Amino acid sequence: MKFSLLLCICSLGPLAAHALEPVPDTPFIQEYHEAYPIVASGPANEVRAIAVDSKDTVWAATKAGLFYLEDTTWHAVPGAHTGPHYELYQDNRGTVWAGAWDGVYRIENKKATKQENVDGTITAITETKAGLLAMGTEGTWQHSRKGWEPLENKWARHIRDALVDSSGDLYIGTGVGLYQQEKETLHHYYKEEDLYSGNITALAQDNAGKLWIGAYGGVDVYEDGKFQQHYGPAEGLPNADVRALAFDKDGTLWIGTALGVVRFNQETWSLRHSKRWLLNDDVRAIAFDSKGTAWVGTRAGVSAIKQRTMTLEEKAAYFLDICQQRHIRPPYIVEKCWLPDPDDFSVWEPRDDDNDGTWTAMYMAMESLRWAVTKDPEAREHVLKAYETLEFLESVTPIEGFFARTVIPSDWTEMSDANHVMTPEEYAERRVHDPRTKRVDERWRLSEDGKWLWKGDTSSDEMAGQMFGYFFFYEYAATDAEKKRIGKHVAKIMDYIIEGGYTIRDLDGEPTRWGVWAPESVKGDPDWRVEGVNKTFEVLSYLKATHHMTGDDKYQQEYMRLIEEHGYADIARRPKSYGRSERTHIQDDLIAMATPALLTYEKDPALHANFLDGVTWSYKTIEYDQNPFFNFIYAMAGGEEFHLEDSVDFLRDHPLDLRHFTIDSSTREDLGFQRNPMPRPLQIDRMIPPSERGVMRWDKNPWAVVSGDFGDVAGHRESSGVFWLLPYWMGRYYGYIDAP
């Protein structure tokens, strides 16, 4: 039965048939972050409390005063002292009150009035039937028609929060336990059987009347004055240093911690941390406006986690717009860009990369699929521009068939891997690390017309990416004339590789560092043992594609020679290294890029089954990466159980923000860390959602504990979004994802 299914798939050509129903593109909630620092820098950004009043005005109590937000600008509240403020509270009438180092302030008409007779620092305000209570280090005061009057203090003065529950009981969270004033009786909970930790930091009540108690150590739940449940890292809380609690309108608990904002909907946990989501991970306060926006007070200002409803198709349009705005540089290279100010998208600079050709080719593939689905003429225009650029990468070099990694304008003075003459000592150092290192002092060369610098030492990665792109252009967007043009171009490249003994030769006549598929290397050189296995799979794909696109039997003959004389098909049945010290996601990416052409154009049932076995064997090591690109490549090849739901979850959950911020999970307390299945890098023990991981390419390890860019460059690079757009349009074309 399985063999007949393979034959059926082969007969369909590039379209893989699956019995699965496509996932409907129903609207979903997309979260995104907007930053609202109160000042450029200084203590005014150190927020202690947040409130949103009935008019959706946002108020912030900070170390340096009281502020309100109007449009996008913060204003100091007239009448409030510029010293530290600790508390904000909106009473039943809608009036906002502030607790400060020097007492209580009443806020009306965006002005503050200091209250008389309250002498001391106020850290908590709440409302009982008898009136407002203001509590702090010097005591407690109650507000009535007579004004503010002191009360006898029956509890510790290290007060963090106070709350009156739906039954009228007063709860006070302190540094030495929880107090409950039940009518005339005062209870004090501080023992281990009462609370996980007596160092209370926050209080909140849910719609069912349960009391949620935040502390250094996690969250405890009380019902009817009795302990019910503790939530800490063992239960899924990513950080147990709790500072704030708030329930949103849907009943989800938002927990401010030392590692960002945690959400808990009684079933699942999610974390919002890093500069992608917050100005600072040290969260002090949380409040919600009528639109559902979460206003989060941090040590470095206020962050708004907002929501918008969108479909996957709308998200694709959003990413494509970003790509067109900031990620295409002459002649038409698609890659990441550099933001001098990470918070200013109006100013950006292009950046070169070793894999410019690959990502331009992936963009071409993505737009070919978009054209096939939508027949949007803009998509066809993009495909042709990208293809012409890939042709230019070959024509800009002085050797026919030898293509450059990338090009930059000749007046650029900063580029990746600038020309550098290595000393013998430097070369020795590199060879100790990798004996195959090739000395390349001149990577950048001036074009014949003087307009461009082109980069040599072209790698196998670039060959894989470009051939991947040619396949999709040829199959889904090319006219008959364009197919002939593609075939002619691909033949030039493949001829040069064959003539070089299955290597890419640079201007020095020697193979480039990585452009090697030769049998004597793949099979005979022990230093190529790790990468050699996937190179057999790659080169067979290139030959098969070139034969199909040109109709020239010499490429089929070369294909069979490598199979029959050198056993390339047998090796390709296990096309990656499984050893712990050898595994990389680069190999997975290379196999994925070679799969469509090889599995589409190979019609021999035995060979097709051989290669599908290799793809399946490789896929089993990455099937839980929640990677829609690998999943859909496996599906189109005929693979079963390709985790469609995981793929759509990734596409929906991935943030709109494509900046490469540092995402460091090393201090998460809900994860385990391991050196498996590979020793490097340190990895998490379960896959976390894409909204909690860094922006990455498919050749990176999504299990890495730390991802994104690091140090001073973090946040300055922005992805083009092609890594998301390509699998989305694959899903649309192959019928895995419906139109909206």
What tens digit of pLDDT does each residue of 490-527 get?
Answer: 999 999 999 999 999 999 999 999 999 999 999 889 99
Of the chain, the percentage scoring pLDDT greater than 90 comes to 92
Quick: pLDDT tens for 101-145. Answer: 999 999 999 999 999 999 899 999 999 999 999 999 999 999 988
pLDDT band at residue 596, thresholds of 50, 70 and 90?
Answer: very high
Quick: pLDDT tens for 623-645. Answer: 999 999 999 999 999 998 999 99
Contact 242, 285 (CB under 8 A): no
What pLDDT does 578 receive? 81
SS (H, E, C) 304-350: EEEEEEECHHHHHHHHHHHHHHHCEECCCEECCEECCCCCCCCCCEE
pLDDT band at residue 19, thresholds of 50, 70 and 90?
Answer: low
> Which residues, 6+ apart, have CB-to-CB distance to 701 below 8 Å?
584, 585, 678, 681, 683
pLDDT band at residue 225, thresholds of 50, 70 and 90?
Answer: confident
Tell me how crowded residue 486 is: count the other CB atoms within 10 A of its CB: 22
Helix, strand, coil percentages (3-state) for the chain, rounded to 5, are 30, 30, 40
Residues facing 222 on adjacent strands: 211, 227
SS (H, E, C) 590-641: HHHHHHHHHHHHCCCHHHHHHHHHHHHHHHCCCCCCCCHHHHHHHHHCCCCC
pLDDT band at residue 582, thresholds of 50, 70 and 90?
Answer: confident
DSSP state of 692: G
**How far apart, in whole angstroms, are the C-alpha atoms of residue 461 and residue 354?**
9
Tell me how crowded residue 259 is: count the other CB atoms within 10 A of its CB: 23
Quick: pLDDT tens for 362-387. Answer: 999 999 999 999 999 999 999 999 99
Quick: pLDDT tens for 242-274. Answer: 999 999 999 999 999 999 999 999 999 999 999
Above 60 in pLDDT, residue 10? no
Quick: pLDDT tens for 438-475. Answer: 999 999 999 999 999 999 999 999 999 999 999 999 99
* Dihedral sign, Cα of residue 590, residue 592, residue 596, residue 600: positive
Residue 318 in tokens: 């959003």
**How far apart, in whole angstroms, are the C-alpha atoms of residue 149 and residue 133?**
10
Q: Cα–Cα–Cα angle for 696, 632, 654, nearest 5°? A: 35
DSSP per residue, 125-141: EEEETTEEEEEETTEEE
**How far apart, in whole angstroms, are the C-alpha atoms of residue 637 and residue 598?**
9
Residue 289 in tokens: 């406006």
Among the listed ranges 26-35, 492-501, 689-698, which one has the minimum average pLDDT value? 689-698
DSSP per residue, 67-130: EEEETTEEEEPTTS-SS-EEEEEE-TTS-EEEEETTEEEEEETTEEEEPTT--S-EEEEEEETT
pTM: 0.94
Q: Cα–Cα–Cα angle for 162, 166, 167, nearest 5°? A: 100
Quick: pLDDT tens for 185-195. Answer: 999 999 988 99
Quick: pLDDT tens for 385-412. Answer: 999 999 999 999 999 999 999 999 999 9
Contact 735, 688 (CB under 8 A): no
Of the chain, the percentage scoring pLDDT greater than 70 comes to 97
Above 90 in pLDDT, residue 29? yes
Average pLDDT, the chain: 94
* Domains along the chain with CATH numbers: 41-241 (2.130.10.10)
Quick: pLDDT tens for 647-673. Answer: 999 999 999 999 999 999 999 999 999
What pLDDT does 18 receive? 66
Contact 172, 135 (CB under 8 A): yes
pLDDT band at residue 328, thresholds of 50, 70 and 90?
Answer: very high
What pLDDT does 151 receive? 92
What pLDDT does 316 receive? 98
| CB crowding 622-644: b at 16 or more within 10 Å, else e | bbebbbbbbbbbbbbbbbeebbb
- Is residue 245 helix, strand or coil? strand
Contact 85, 107 (CB under 8 A): no
**How far apart, in whole angstroms, are the C-alpha atoms of residue 644 and residue 22?**
9
